[in-house]
C-alpha cells in the first residue's frame, strides 16, 4: 500500500467544506422527499375539482425531485471515490478532487442542479405573476433577469465540462459568478414583489375575512414560503462567500443548490394543501366590499353590500344586503363569503 502523506492545513478547509456541504445536502434532501410526498398525499384521492390546477404543480415538483436526486447521487458517488475507493490517488483526496473536477458525474450533477435552478426560478416567477393578479408588466423586469440568468448558467455548465475545468474556479467561474448574482438578484426582486402584494392583500382581507381565514394566505409563514425568502437569504450568503474566494463557498453552494428545489417544493405543498394562492383565489381576495351609507334621518333600512374588483373580468363575490343593526345577519353573510373564497382554493 502506498504511503499517503497527511493533508496539509491548506487541504483541510476545502475537504471540510465538501464534507459539511454533502452532510447538509443529505439532510435537506430528506426534507424535500417528505415535502414532495406530503404534496402527493394531499392531492391523491381528492375530487377532480380540487385536483384541477394542483396536479400540474405536483408533477412539477416530481421533476424537481428527480433532478435533485441526480445531483445528490452524483455528489455522493464523487465523495465515495475521493475519500474511500481512491483515497490513495496521487496527492490524496485533494489530488483526486482536482483531477476529476470535469468528470462526467460532476458535470451531470452540476447540470441537474442548474436545471433545477432554472425550473425553481421559473416557478417563483410564475407565482409572482399569479399573486399579482396576472399583471404581466409587474414581472417584465424579473423575466428579463430570468432569461439572462438561464443563458449564463447554460454557458457555465458547458464550460465546466471542458478538461481541467471546475464550476467554481477558472473560466467557468467567469460566467458562474454573474449567473449566481443574477439568480440571487431575481430572487430578491421577486421576494420583495410577492411580500409587498401579500401585505396589500392582508390589508384587504382584514375587513373581509375572519382572522383565521386571512392568516392562511397572508401570515408570516405564508409570506416566507410564497416568496422563497430563505432561498434569497442563502443566495446572498453564497454571493458573499464566492466574492471572498474561500472554501466556504463550496459548502454554501451545496446548501443553496438544494434550496433551488426545496423552496419551490414548499410552495407546491402549500398549493396542494389548499393554502396556496391560485388565480381564482387572488381575484376573489382582490374583490372589496363597499357598504352603502345608512339612510338619512335615522330610518330603518338596510345597508347594501356591493362588490368592487380591480379586475373587471374576474369573478366577484356575491352581493346582498345586511339588515341594519343585525349582527347575526352580518356574521352569516361574512361566513358565506368566506366559504366562497375557501371553496375555490
CB atoms within 10 A of CB 308: 12
Cα separation values, 306 from 4, 292, 323, Å? 81, 8, 14
Cα Rg, the chain, nearest whole Å: 25
CATH for 11-277, options being 3.40.50, 1.10.3110, 1.10.10, 1.20.1070: 1.20.1070
pLDDT for the residue 133: 82
User: How would you class 6 by CB atoms within 10 Å of its CB: exposed for 0-12, middle for 13-18, buried for 19 or more?
Assistant: exposed
pLDDT for the residue 285: 59
Q: Is 265 helix (H, G, I), strand (E, B) or coil?
A: helix
Contacts of 336 (CB under 8 A, 6+ apart): 318
Q: Is 180 helix (H, G, I), strand (E, B) or coil?
A: helix
Residue 184 near residue 232, CB atoms below 8 Å:
yes
Indicate the pTM of the whole model: 0.74
CB atoms within 10 A of CB 193: 20
Dig out the grid coordinates for 276 from the structure. 396556496
pLDDT for the residue 135: 86
pLDDT for the residue 61: 94
Q: Is 273 helix (H, G, I), strand (E, B) or coil?
A: helix
Mean pLDDT, 10 residues at a time, over the chain (345 residues)? 46 84 93 94 83 86 95 90 87 82 85 92 90 87 94 86 66 76 88 84 67 60 73 84 79 89 90 73 55 42 41 39 44 45 40
Residue 134 has phi, psi (to 5 degrees) of: 60, 35
**Span(s) in the chain for CATH 1.20.1070:** 11-277
pLDDT for the residue 284: 62
Q: Is 278 helix (H, G, I), strand (E, B) or coil?
A: coil
Dig out the grid coordinates for 23 from the structure. 452532510
Dig out the grid coordinates for 19 from the structure. 464534507
- Chain CA centroid to CA 85, Å: 37
- Chain CA centroid to CA 100, Å: 32
Residue 13 near residue 100, CB atoms below 8 Å:
no
**Half-sphere exposure (Cβ direction) of 26: Cα atoms closer than 13 Å:** 11
CA angle 119, 124, 127 (to 5 degrees): 125
Residue 194 near residue 227, CB atoms below 8 Å:
yes
Beta strands, E only, the chain: 288-291, 302-308, 320-323
Amino acid at each position: 500500500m502506498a504511503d499517503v502523506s497527511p493533508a496539509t492545513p491548506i487541504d483541510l478547509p476545502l475537504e471540510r467544506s465538501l464534507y459539511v456541504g454533502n452532510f447538509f445536502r443529505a439532510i435537506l434532501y430528506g426534507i424535500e422527499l417528505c415535502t414532495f410526498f406530503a404534496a402527493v398525499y394531499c392531492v391523491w384521492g381528492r375530487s377532480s375539482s380540487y385536483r384541477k390546477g394542483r396536479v400540474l404543480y405536483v408533477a412539477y415538483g416530481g421533476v424537481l425531485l428527480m433532478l435533485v436526486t441526480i445531483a445528490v447521487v452524483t455528489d455522493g458517488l464523487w465523495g465515495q471515490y475521493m475519500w474511500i475507493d481512491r483515497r490513495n490517488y496521487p496527492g490524496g483526496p485533494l489530488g483526486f478532487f482536482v483531477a476529476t473536477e470535469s468528470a462526467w458525474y460532476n458535470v451531470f450533477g452540476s447540470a441537474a442542479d442548474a436545471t433545477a435552478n432554472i425550473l425553481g426560478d421559473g416557478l417563483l416567477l410564475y407565482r409572482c405573476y399569479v399573486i399579482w393578479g396576472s399583471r404581466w408588466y409587474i414581472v417584465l423586469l424579473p423575466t428579463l433577469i430570468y432569461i439572462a440568468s438561464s443563458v449564463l448558467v447554460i454557458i457555465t455548465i458547458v464550460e465546466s465540462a471542458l478538461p481541467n475545468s471546475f464550476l467554481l474556479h477558472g473560466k467557468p467561474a467567469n460566467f458562474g459568478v454573474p449567473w449566481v448574482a443574477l439568480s440571487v438578484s431575481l430572487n430578491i426582486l421577486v421576494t420583495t414583489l410577492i411580500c409587498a402584494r401579500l401585505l396589500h392583500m392582508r390589508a384587504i382581507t382584514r375587513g373581509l375575512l375572519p382572522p383565521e381565514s386571512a392568516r392562511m394566505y397572508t401570515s408570516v409563514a405564508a409570506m416566507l414560503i410564497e416568496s422563497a425568502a430563505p432561498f434569497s437569504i442563502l443566495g446572498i450568503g453564497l454571493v458573499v462567500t464566492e466574492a471572498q474566494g474561500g472554501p466556504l463557498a463550496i459548502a454554501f453552494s451545496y446548501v443553496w443548490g438544494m434550496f433551488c428545489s426545496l423552496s419551490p417544493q414548499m410552495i407546491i405543498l402549500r398549493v396542494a394543501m389548499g393554502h396556496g394562492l391560485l388565480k381564482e383565489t387572488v381575484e376573489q381576495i382582490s374583490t372589496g366590499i363597499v357598504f352603502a351609507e345608512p339612510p338619512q334621518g335615522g330610518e330603518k333600512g338596510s345597508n347594501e353590500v356591493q362588490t368592487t374588483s380591480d379586475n373587471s373580468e374576474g369573478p366577484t363575490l356575491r352581493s346582498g344586503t345586511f339588515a341594519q343593526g343585525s349582527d347575526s345577519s352580518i356574521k352569516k353573510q361574512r361566513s358565506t363569503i368566506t366559504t366562497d373564497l375557501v371553496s375555490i382554493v
